[in-house]
Structures are given as structure tokens and as C-alpha cells.
Amino acid sequence: MKLTTYAQIGALLLASTTAFADSHEAASEEDAQLMIVEAALAGGDAAAGEKIFKKCKACHMIGEGAKARTGPALNNVVGAEIGDFEGFKYSAGMVALAEADEIWTIENLNALLIKPRDFVAKTKMSFAGLKDEQDRADLIAYLAGFTTVEADD
Ligand code: HEC
């Protein structure tokens, strides 16, 4: 059952690779391809991730028409430049990561989700973190499914 899910995510990401690479300056097509492999390796289940995303909904929107709330909207965030949501007032710690041209790779997203405060100095994201590795993998697989949604700008 899970294998089907990975295959579906992989196919979805593969189909959107070109559009994905086009919509983010820093993410080349090769980067996007690599992330598809990483997402599959991480063993995430997007359907399970949707349930975990409830913990994020207090502050984040995702999907069609998503806008910034307490936190930025999370469409296309997998593979995007860190701190790149236009008009959002990020913390100094996020701005520093953005200036260092850091990317939301699977690895960086995982690190953020373990404990936001450890990944971003004095972050404005007041969220304790997700201790469970499978929860993080599922959530990242869910986020990766939103690489095809048109940006609002
Ligand atoms: C209490 C509000 C809150 C909750 C809950 C929360 N976040 Fe955040 N998130 C924020 C804020 C605020 C920022 C901007 C952080 C900064 O500037 O330091 C952010 C930033 C992010 C970013 C970086 C986005 C970018 O534009 O670079 C990601 C990815 C993210 N959050 C994912 C999540 C996920 C996934 C969850 C659920 C597990 C979650 N957040 C829960 C408030 C929240």
C-alpha cells in the first residue's frame, strides 16, 4: 500500500518537475529530481501527513488560494529558497538563512521540523517540533504534493 503511495508522489513530482524548476530560481531540474528520490527514500505517506498538518494549520495555509497567516503559505516550499515568500516579515534568523542562499531540501525541512528553534535562531515559528521521525517524513511527503499549485502572485 505504501509503495503505491510513494510511486504516486514520485509520479506527481516528476510530472511537475519542469514547472517546479521554473517557479524557483534556485531549484534546478536536477535538484527537483534529487528531491523526488529523497522524498521516496524518506518513506513519507502523504495521506498520513495531511492529518499531521492539522498541527500547522493554526499558522499556515497550503493549497489553492493559500495566503500568509501567522506563518507564510507553504505551497511549493519543498525545494524553494528559505524565506522566499514575498512580503512576509521573517525573523532575523530566517533572513540570515535566506541570505546564505539556503534551500528547503528534505534534510533542512526535517531539521526545522525536529525543533524549529534549533534550526532558525530566535525563530518566530513558535512550534515545539515533531519528535516522531515517521510523522516528519509523512508531513514532508504531504508538503511535496503541493509543488504544482500555482503561486498567487
Ligand atoms: C504558532 C504558529 C506556527 C505553527 C504552529 C507552525 N508554524 Fe511554521 N512558521 C511560522 C512562522 C511565524 C514562520 C516564519 C518563521 C521566522 O520568520 O522565523 C514559519 C516558517 C515555516 C517554514 C519556512 C517557510 C519559508 O517561507 O521559508 C516552514 C517550511 C514551516 N514553517 C513549516 C511548518 C510546518 C510543517 C508546521 C506544522 C508541523 C508549522 N510550520 C507549524 C509559524 C508557525
Assess if residue 137 is contained within a domain: yes
Instruction: Give the closest residue to 130 by CA, choosing from 138, 121, 122.
Output: 138
- Residue-level pLDDT, tens digit, the chain, 153 residues: 344 455 555 554 544 444 444 444 445 556 655 665 566 556 788 899 999 999 999 999 999 999 999 999 999 898 889 999 999 999 999 999 999 999 998 889 999 999 999 999 999 999 999 999 889 989 998 998 887 644 455
| Ligand 1 pocket residues where CB is under 6 Å | 55-56, 58-60, 70-72, 74, 77, 82-85, 90-91, 93-94, 112-113, 120, 123-127, 130, 139
Assess if residue 151 is contained within a domain: no
Assess if residue 129 is contained within a domain: yes
Span from the CA of 16 to the centroid of ligand 1 (angstroms): 24
Rounded to 10 degrees, the C-alpha dihedral 87/127/56/93 comes to 20
Assess if residue 152 is contained within a domain: no
Cell numbers that stand for 77 in this block? 516550499
Number of domains comprising the chain = 1
| Cα dihedral across residues 40, 109, 28, 65: positive or negative | positive
Span from the CA of 124 to the centroid of ligand 1 (angstroms): 8
Assess if residue 65 is contained within a domain: yes
Q: What is the pTM of this model?
A: 0.80
Assess if residue 139 is contained within a domain: yes
Assess if residue 16 is contained within a domain: yes
Assess if residue 21 is contained within a domain: yes
Instruction: Give the closest residue to 110 by CA, choosing from 118, 98, 122.
Output: 118
Look up the CATH number of the domain holding residue 39: 1.10.760.10
Report the nearest atom of ligand 1 relative to the CA of 90. 17
The whole-angstrom separation of Cα 133 and Cα 44 is: 10
Domain that holds residue 35: 2-144
